Amino acid sequence: MTSSTMNNFYLPEGLPSPAPEPDGVSAPYWAGLRDGRLLVQRCGHCGGWQFGPEWICHQCLTFDPAWVEVKPSGRIYSWERVWHPVHPALKDRGPYLAVLVELPEAGHVRMVGNLLGDPLQDVRVGAQVTGVFEHHTDATPAFSLLHWQCE
Amino acid sequence: MTARTLRGRVAVVGIGETSYYKHGQSPDAEFKLALKAILAACADAGIGAHEIDGFASYSDDRSEATRLASALGLPRLRSATMQWGGGGGGCCAAVANGAAAIATGQADCVVVFRSLAQGQHGRFGQSAAGGTMSGEKSYLVPYGVISPPQRFAMRARRYMEEHGVRQEALRAIALASYLHAQNNPRAVMQGRPLDAARYDASRWIVEPFHLYDCCMENDGAAAIVLVDAERAGEFAHKPVYLLGAASGASSRFATHAHNSPAYASANFTTLAPELYRMAKVSPSDVGVVQSYENFTGGVVMALAEHGFFTPAQANEFLTLENLIAPDGRLPLNTSGGNLAECYMHGFELVLEAVRQVRGTSCNQAPRNDVALVIGGPMVAPASDLLLGSAAAL
């Protein structure tokens, strides 16, 4: 299964929008998602991977690690099913699933997303998942998220 | 050159707290709560407020040291320290920072405290409702991972998966806090007992945390008075000495978007060995533990990382019978803690450890020469603290 784009939003609109910090360290990541590409940092000097973004490679201390495109494919490292909403936009949403996904092909960096499908599904740590981009083109500023779906 | 240590150098000679209230129910302003707790601690120590020459706190306490010094008319302020980092991870480090000021001759009498009236300010750990967000939160909040239980549940879930820890282990921690609170007149949950059936039937906040796995939200203030250990005999109560303290984080623990290398961890893997080394004690010397329950899953990890059991032994060790005073193997959270006494962001745990060493707890542990306090788990920096009697020195 290849990565795809979804038409409906997994969570209702109204949550805060992600945006790069003023110093721009994460700007390539968010710009990549908007283009339907998953970019993470990989140091051009030592080859070390890292996420979240930083100005320096934590392994060899070379500045400005490169951004490389990786396949949005990984496996579930942990998960949670949220029942108690804490944001007004989620009040009537019912339970939803968040997963922590590790990317074995990108140095096992991890990222959080939602697990698409039945929110009451059984979730298995180690399950293979594929990324699904969710584009909020009408938001101000526009942004994109990366969710996950079991293969 | 003398050894670089806090062991036996500083003593707790006074403790005090306000009434503890449910969230938003304090009749007093937050700053007034801080003043009341500080004066109560001074009264317990038998000193006047004018003897205070330093303050220490954590998590950006809003009751600033300079305002306190002015309000109390202190002749001079010599030390004002704030532990970096949010959450209750700093509740033990604040004590260590205050003690360090005394041990290095920068102050003679330091009050360490926490004050909060969340009804008058924002909820602890809350996020903005709208707009944009950057940094760590931008990788979580758009996916509905917003509140503290939502931010920590996946660490606990991973730990439970890796080590086969069952829900019953988390439940035992909640039941112990509630059972102890029933004997504690200060406890907000006194008169509100909890049993296994009620725990099991309680709603999920976020799996694997039921309602009763999560700390309360409260108003109040609590404070302790620290002095040079050589003066400890001048005060009314049995002296309680700092045996050791540690704070910090394991490598890259706070890496954004849940990328800590040691993910299924309470963040005491590097701290606990340092704590025991300074205190010159081992886990088997510890007779009673106060362990910050932001969420019970963090307590499981924190206790294992402090050497009381291996992760594989968690189910066997964490039973209600083992965790209650006076007869349990390791009496835990003997005041009711964050779950059932008061969520004073963990500072009520420091006061309870002092009571245990004094022998004045509502749920007194029989082995009370060495008492452990573990600050907020799963956060960075975290901190922990060992207190002890003269016999432990």
3-state secondary structure chain A: CCCEECCCCCCCCCCCEECCCCCCCCHHHHHHHHCCCEEEEECCCCCCEECCCCCECCCCCCECCEEEEECCEEEEEEEEEECCCCCHHHCCCCCEEEEEEEEHHHCCEEEEEEECCCCCCCCCCCCEEEEEEEEECCCCCCEEEEEEEEC
**Would you place residue B122 in the very low, low, confident or very high pLDDT band (cuts 50, 70, 90)?**
confident
Q: Measure CB to CB from residue A110 to each of B145, B150, B258 and give the nearest one.
A: B258
Per CB-CB distance under 8 Å, the chain A contacts of B151 are none
Query: Measured in Å, how far apart are chain A's first and last C-alpha atoms?
Result: 7
Supply B96's token pair: 């260590």
Here the ipTM equals: 0.96
What pLDDT does residue B118 have?
80
Domains within chain A, CATH numbers bracketed: 22-70 (no CATH), 72-151 (2.40.50)
- The answer to whether B210 faces chain A, any CB pair under 8 Å, is no
C-beta separation of B335 from B356 below 8 A: no
- The answer to whether A121 faces chain B, any CB pair under 8 Å, is no
- The answer to whether B262 faces chain A, any CB pair under 8 Å, is no
Q: Does the pLDDT at position B258 exceed 80? A: yes
What pLDDT does residue B121 have?
79
Q: Measure CB to CB from residue A51 to each of B128, B154, B257 and give the nearest one.
A: B257
Look at residue B241 and give its three-state secondary structure. strand
**% residues pLDDT > 70 (chain A):** 95
Supply B79's token pair: 């030390």
pLDDT tens figures, B214-250: 999 999 999 999 999 999 999 999 999 999 999 999 9
What is the rounded average pLDDT for all residues in chain A?
95
What pLDDT does residue A51 have?
97
A111 to B257: CB separation less than 8 angstroms, yes or no:
yes
User: Average pLDDT of B133-149?
Assistant: 96
- The answer to whether A6 faces chain B, any CB pair under 8 Å, is no
Supply B122's token pair: 């924002």
Cα(B146)–Cα(B202) distance, integer angstroms: 21
Q: Which residue of A112, A121, A124, A140 is the best one to mutate when testing the B interface, meaning the one whose CB has the most B CBs within 10 A?
A: A112
What pLDDT does residue B172 have?
98
Q: What is the largest CA-CA distance in chain B?
A: 60
Q: Does the pLDDT at position B8 exceed 80? A: yes
* Closest listed residue to residue B327, CA positions, set B294, B376, B362, B366: B366
Burial label, B326 (beta-carbon count in 10 A; 0-12, 13-18, 19+): middle
What pLDDT does residue A1 have?
38
* Complete DSSP assignment for B339-358: HHT--STTHHHHHHHHHHHH
Cα(B321)–Cα(B306) distance, integer angstroms: 20
pLDDT tens figures, A72-101: 999 999 999 999 999 999 999 999 999 999
Cα(B302)–Cα(B79) distance, integer angstroms: 31
Q: Does the pLDDT at position B374 exceed 90? A: yes
C-beta separation of B341 from B361 below 8 A: no
Backbone angles phi, psi at B217, to 5 degrees: -125, 130
Q: Measure CB to CB from residue A82 to each of B158, B206, B252 and give the nearest one.
A: B206
User: Average pLDDT of A35-58?
Assistant: 98
Q: Does the pLDDT at position A3 exceed 60? A: no
- The answer to whether A28 faces chain B, any CB pair under 8 Å, is no
- The answer to whether A90 faces chain B, any CB pair under 8 Å, is yes
Per CB-CB distance under 8 Å, the chain B contacts of A21 are 134-135
Alpha helices (H) in B267-313, listed in sequence order: 271-279, 296-305
Domains within chain B, CATH numbers bracketed: 10-122+214-392 (3.40.47.10)
Per CB-CB distance under 8 Å, the chain A contacts of B257 are 51-52, 110-112
- The answer to whether A87 faces chain B, any CB pair under 8 Å, is yes
- Beta bridge partners, A143, equal A136
Q: List the helix and strand counts (H, then E) for chain A.
A: 1, 10
A112 to B127: CB separation less than 8 angstroms, yes or no:
no
Query: Measured in Å, how far apart are chain B's first and last C-alpha atoms?
Result: 20
**In terms of pTM, does the model score above 0.90?**
yes
What pLDDT does residue B120 have?
82
* Closest listed residue to residue B171, CA positions, set B206, B212, B201: B212
A80 to B153: CB separation less than 8 angstroms, yes or no:
yes
Per CB-CB distance under 8 Å, the chain A contacts of B255 are 50, 52
* Closest listed residue to residue A111, CA positions, set B263, B161, B382, B248: B263
B141 to A83: CB separation less than 8 angstroms, yes or no:
no
User: Which uninterrupted H or E stretch holds A6?
Assistant: none
What pLDDT does residue B2 have?
72
C-beta separation of B51 from B226 below 8 A: no
- The answer to whether A88 faces chain B, any CB pair under 8 Å, is yes
Q: Does the pLDDT at position A2 exceed 60? A: no
Backbone angles phi, psi at B360, to 5 degrees: -120, 20
Cα(B390)–Cα(B351) distance, integer angstroms: 18
- The answer to whether B390 faces chain A, any CB pair under 8 Å, is no
Cα(B338)–Cα(B346) distance, integer angstroms: 7
User: Average pLDDT of A25-30?
Assistant: 97
pLDDT tens figures, B87-105: 899 999 999 999 999 999 9
Per CB-CB distance under 8 Å, the chain A contacts of B126 are 86
Cα(B194)–Cα(B191) distance, integer angstroms: 10
User: Average pLDDT of B326-350?
Assistant: 98
What pLDDT does residue B119 have?
77
Better-predicted residue by pLDDT, A7 or B91: B91
Supply B393's token pair: 């020195």
Backbone angles phi, psi at B77, to 5 degrees: -115, 130
User: Average pLDDT of B30-57?
Assistant: 98
**% residues pLDDT > 70 (chain B):** 98
Q: Any idea which residues of B carry the catalytic annotation?
A: 292, 343
> How many Å separate Cα A98 from the centre of its chain?
11
User: Which uninterrupted H or E stretch holds B2?
Assistant: none
* Closest listed residue to residue B96, CA positions, set B217, B283, B251, B226: B226
Q: Measure CB to CB from residue A80 to each of B207, B257, B263 and give the nearest one.
A: B207
